[in-house]
Structure 1
Amino acid sequence: MTHQTDIPATSEGPLKGIVILDLTRVVAGPYCAMLLADMGATVIKIEHPLDPDLTREFPPLQDQDGAAISGFFAQYNRNKMAVSLDLKKAEGRETFLQMVARAHIVIENFRPGTLDKLGLGYGVLAETNPAIVLTCISGFGQTGPNSPRPAFDSSAQATGGLWSMNGTVEEPMRVGTVLGDLSAALYGAIGTLGALRQAEKTGIGQCVDISQQDSIISLTENALVTYTASGKVTVPEGNGHPFVKPYGRYACKDGYVFFGAYTDKFWREACIVFGDEHLLDDPEINTMARRFDPDVYERRVKPLVEQWCGRHTKAELEKMTGARFPLSPIKSIDEVVADPHVRLRDMVIPVQYRGVDFQVFGNPVKLSGGTREKNAMAPELGEHNERIYRDWLGKDDEEFEFLKKNGVI
């Protein structure tokens, strides 16, 4: 498989030389493409010249010379180039296919059927470049009766079962982040890399179909197999666990911690740390199976753990327990940002967008050869039009000016 990828080198990393055309908006698609950009791929974000990615206006916003600059956009679009292009115009479609001929991957998160209506479905892309990988991220996938339905993250949490399992029995709750978007992005990146490897070996690409609903279903742990095997429907457990005990949220002097010393090994360590070694021989709670018993837990174990935690602060508990058994402070986001461990692992990094420096989350994929998210930049709308259309595609002055004059770019 050969491509002309003579965009001036902008990156290093395992995906250096891979060109990705990013047609996506909001979170799921942009995050998928960003993960690959962090690993060295050249990602070209393609936006309609009059209707760009709406997250360019999403909060948090910082003022820069009277303009409101979005940290949200910066976080999900770092390390990308950007061009403007109207795919509804014939010249726009022609230009896009010229880009497809030189690219390796296209990522889109339109509603299924949109690319076909534009005359740019997978069949057309594959005719232009048989090795192209098309990754499609949508609410319900490219097939099935619900495929055409519009969807947001909450649609996936609702229809994938997660919403019904989270919160309390009295009030099921949506998970407090866009987990449907984020998980679809992660699966999208995995599927894209798998398809790319196959294309590199065979010269034949394929369509990667990622559904937010599917992604959420895969995150419901044992709920699905529990139902199919036993008929039991998983319900919200609040801050506890359906059978593992003690394992949940417990109050301390200045907030809450997660306490998870449920195995016999960890329980022994907890009893020693809190000065209650005599409990190791207590016949009612001296084995994991006995502590799992709901009555025993409520009557003996829960009050004991509440007493242990209630005497100390989060910091004291974290220091006392160390690596002896699982105990973690339940941290607010300001505490997460200040965590020296998080900082050491580059999970809070600077990204610049339109002259504003934002602190955003880093890339959780840590490669010994490094990734390139630190000190990255996010592009302005159409920032790289000349570099892509003139330098890469080779359009002359007359054609480039025609595209500008006629609103194609």
Structure 2
Amino acid sequence: MRLPLEGVTVVAVEQAVAAPLATRQLADLGARVIKVERRDGGDLSRGYDHVVDGTGAHFVWLNRGKESVAVDLKTAEGRDIVRRLVDSADVFVQNLAPGAAKRLGLGTDELRSNHPELITVDLSGFGTGGPHEQRKAYDMLIQAEAGLISITGTPETAVKTGIPTADIASGLYCAQAVLAALLRRWRFGEGASIEVSMLEATVEWLGHALYTQMFTESAPPRMGLGHTSIAPYDAFPTRDGEVLIGVQNDRGWRSLVRDVLDAPELADDPRFVTNVDRVAHRAACDAAVASHTRRWATDDLITSLEAAGVPAAQVKQMSDVVSHPQLRARGRWREVATEHSVVPALLPPATFSDVEAAMGAVPALGEHTRTVLQGLGLRDQQIDELVKHEIVTSDPRLPALTSS
């Protein structure tokens, strides 16, 4: 069977996390993604670190299955190469600094004027217009501006999330919008101009916290591992560690105290009968649960909670996740090639029953410059001239071909 996006070509002038995550999802679904990078070092994330056998962890995560073309967009010849690529593409994605794409002649209006069926995506920190349009927009800054940091952490300390949440949110919405636009084009023949703001994507993820602020005029407190609206919902001590327990309804509460903790008197305690009651008396509720859980060994408590259908877990370390038995049992690990080695990679979360995600190799900088330019009709001698004049870079491991 065929992958859903086979035959779709995406050109991406992208860097860092948000846009590369979006286009990697499209590549996994079968699209041809041509990644346009700077000649001097390429995508910023190539240099964040070199922990994956010499390749950056972010870059390996975000760029498998793409073709890398290294071009100097400050030159007229470089810009012409990208415009020619876009002329034969279905989708163009960019997350350059605000206004940069337009200054390079790669603005949405210009690209679509001669290619109305083209789908363009401008992914930026704050969107077009407004007082923050020109602000720099790294993930941490967006988490701060969106209010996410203010509600994340403990009562004493606000923290950012341990993953680039703003980047991931906007990358997911970008990919979703491209898929919707492709569906509309196939049905009605219409292209699309799409804009995705990291700020707006992150604020959307605030969900209940935003509504709590609007309708109570009070922000949800930082709860650490707890939950503002549910109790008991936290880490509870055991003899040899701790267990996270999350009881989301009153039936679950009764199962916890009667079937697991052997404390039936708590089920009918007027302070704890309903979730609203338990939240109102959270400290007493948590203390009562902890007085019983601390008598258990962690593994025994997890087993008993699972048997009773009470949601529970242990905090896994990264080393535990790498060998997680559920991922192993479901066969979720594959291997992808990088310029230095073959490394493990997880299958995308959405599984098609009849076809597996493409999961191609992670490209070296400029690895596909020559083949992509050949596809535009350039002869090897012309490509060699572009390399000589530092307009493009071809991966040095690939020998330059010359022809008369």
Given that 1:138 and 1:211 are in contact with CA atoms closer than 8 Å, whether structure 2 keeps it comes out as yes
Counterpart for residue 285 of structure 1: 272
Corresponding position: 1:39 with 2:29: yes
In the alignment, the residues of structure 2 paired with residue 71 and residue 115 of structure 1 have an alpha-carbon distance, to the nearest angstrom, of 27
Match of 1:80 among 66, 88, 94: 66
Corresponding position: 1:400 with 2:383: yes
Match of 1:102 among 88, 99, 104: 88
Closer, same or farther: CA 30–118 of 1 in aligned 2, 3 Å: same
In the alignment, the residues of structure 1 paired with residue 138 and residue 70 of structure 2 have an alpha-carbon distance, to the nearest angstrom, of 25
Given that 1:34 and 1:76 are in contact with CA atoms closer than 8 Å, whether structure 2 keeps it comes out as yes
Match of 1:189 among 152, 172, 175: 175
Structure 1 residue 330 displacement after superposition: 1.5
In the alignment, the residues of structure 1 paired with residue 266 and residue 182 of structure 2 have an alpha-carbon distance, to the nearest angstrom, of 57
In the alignment, the residues of structure 1 paired with residue 58 and residue 379 of structure 2 have an alpha-carbon distance, to the nearest angstrom, of 36
* Residue identity matched to 1:356: S
Residues 206-285 of structure 1: pairs in structure 2 closer than 5 A: 206-271=192-257, 272-285=259-272
Given that 1:139 and 1:155 are in contact with CA atoms closer than 8 Å, whether structure 2 keeps it comes out as no
Residues 133-144 of structure 1: pairs in structure 2 closer than 5 A: 133-144=119-130
* Residue identity matched to 1:385: T
1:142-165 deviation line (CA, Å, top 9, x unaligned): 232211111100111000010111
Counterpart for residue 311 of structure 1: 295
Counterpart for residue 382 of structure 1: 366
Counterpart for residue 398 of structure 2: none
Structure 1 residue 76 displacement after superposition: 1.0
Match of 2:152 among 154, 166, 179: 166
In the alignment, the residues of structure 2 paired with residue 268 and residue 208 of structure 1 have an alpha-carbon distance, to the nearest angstrom, of 49
Structure 1 residue 347 displacement after superposition: 4.8
* Residue identity matched to 2:349: P
Counterpart for residue 10 of structure 2: 20
Match of 1:343 among 308, 318, 328: 328
Structure 1 residue 69 displacement after superposition: 2.9
Match of 1:70 among 53, 56, 62: 56
In the alignment, the residues of structure 1 paired with residue 239 and residue 111 of structure 2 have an alpha-carbon distance, to the nearest angstrom, of 60
Counterpart for residue 400 of structure 2: none
In the alignment, the residues of structure 1 paired with residue 155 and residue 141 of structure 2 have an alpha-carbon distance, to the nearest angstrom, of 20
Q: Which moved more, 1:111-120 or 1:274-283?
A: 274-283
Structure 1 residue 325 displacement after superposition: 1.7
Structure 1 residue 327 displacement after superposition: 0.8
SS of 1:322's partner is helix
Structure 1 residue 290 displacement after superposition: 2.9
Corresponding position: 1:122 with 2:105: no
In the alignment, the residues of structure 2 paired with residue 282 and residue 169 of structure 1 have an alpha-carbon distance, to the nearest angstrom, of 28
Given that 2:230 and 2:247 are in contact with CA atoms closer than 8 Å, whether structure 1 keeps it comes out as no
Structure 1 residue 185 displacement after superposition: 0.7
Structure 1 residue 361 displacement after superposition: 4.1
Structure 1 residue 41 displacement after superposition: 0.8
In the alignment, the residues of structure 2 paired with residue 203 and residue 241 of structure 1 have an alpha-carbon distance, to the nearest angstrom, of 47
SS of 2:342's partner is strand
Corresponding position: 1:366 with 2:351: yes
Identity of aligned residues (%): 30
In the alignment, the residues of structure 1 paired with residue 17 and residue 222 of structure 2 have an alpha-carbon distance, to the nearest angstrom, of 27
Given that 2:336 and 2:362 are in contact with CA atoms closer than 8 Å, whether structure 1 keeps it comes out as yes
* Residue identity matched to 2:373: Y
Counterpart for residue 8 of structure 1: none
1:28-87 deviation line (CA, Å, top 9, x unaligned): 111111111111111111112224112223335255xxxx33333212111111111222
SS of 2:176's partner is helix
Closer, same or farther: CA 308–41 of 1 in aligned 2, 3 Å: farther
In the alignment, the residues of structure 1 paired with residue 183 and residue 227 of structure 2 have an alpha-carbon distance, to the nearest angstrom, of 40
Given that 2:98 and 2:134 are in contact with CA atoms closer than 8 Å, whether structure 1 keeps it comes out as yes
TM-score (norm 1): 0.89
Corresponding position: 1:112 with 2:98: yes
How many aligned positions are there?
Answer: 390
Closer, same or farther: CA 169–403 of 1 in aligned 2, 3 Å: same
Counterpart for residue 48 of structure 1: 38
* Residue identity matched to 1:328: A
* Residue identity matched to 1:353: T
Closer, same or farther: CA 314–394 of 1 in aligned 2, 3 Å: farther
Structure 2 runs not aligned, ≥5 long: 393-404
In the alignment, the residues of structure 2 paired with residue 205 and residue 278 of structure 1 have an alpha-carbon distance, to the nearest angstrom, of 64
Closer, same or farther: CA 71–175 of 1 in aligned 2, 3 Å: closer
SS of 2:167's partner is helix
Closer, same or farther: CA 163–87 of 1 in aligned 2, 3 Å: same
In the alignment, the residues of structure 1 paired with residue 265 and residue 326 of structure 2 have an alpha-carbon distance, to the nearest angstrom, of 35
Structure 1 residue 232 displacement after superposition: 1.9
Given that 1:100 and 1:128 are in contact with CA atoms closer than 8 Å, whether structure 2 keeps it comes out as no
Given that 1:122 and 1:134 are in contact with CA atoms closer than 8 Å, whether structure 2 keeps it comes out as yes
Query: Once superposed, what is the RMSD of the aligned Cα atoms?
Result: 2.2
Given that 1:258 and 1:330 are in contact with CA atoms closer than 8 Å, whether structure 2 keeps it comes out as yes
In the alignment, the residues of structure 2 paired with residue 395 and residue 60 of structure 1 have an alpha-carbon distance, to the nearest angstrom, of 34
Given that 1:164 and 1:172 are in contact with CA atoms closer than 8 Å, whether structure 2 keeps it comes out as yes
In the alignment, the residues of structure 2 paired with residue 204 and residue 50 of structure 1 have an alpha-carbon distance, to the nearest angstrom, of 37
In the alignment, the residues of structure 2 paired with residue 370 and residue 250 of structure 1 have an alpha-carbon distance, to the nearest angstrom, of 43
Q: Which moved more, 1:74-83 or 1:227-236?
A: 227-236
Structure 1 runs not aligned, ≥5 long: 1-10
Closer, same or farther: CA 163–273 of 1 in aligned 2, 3 Å: same
In the alignment, the residues of structure 1 paired with residue 38 and residue 274 of structure 2 have an alpha-carbon distance, to the nearest angstrom, of 63
TM-score (norm 2): 0.90
Closer, same or farther: CA 131–321 of 1 in aligned 2, 3 Å: same
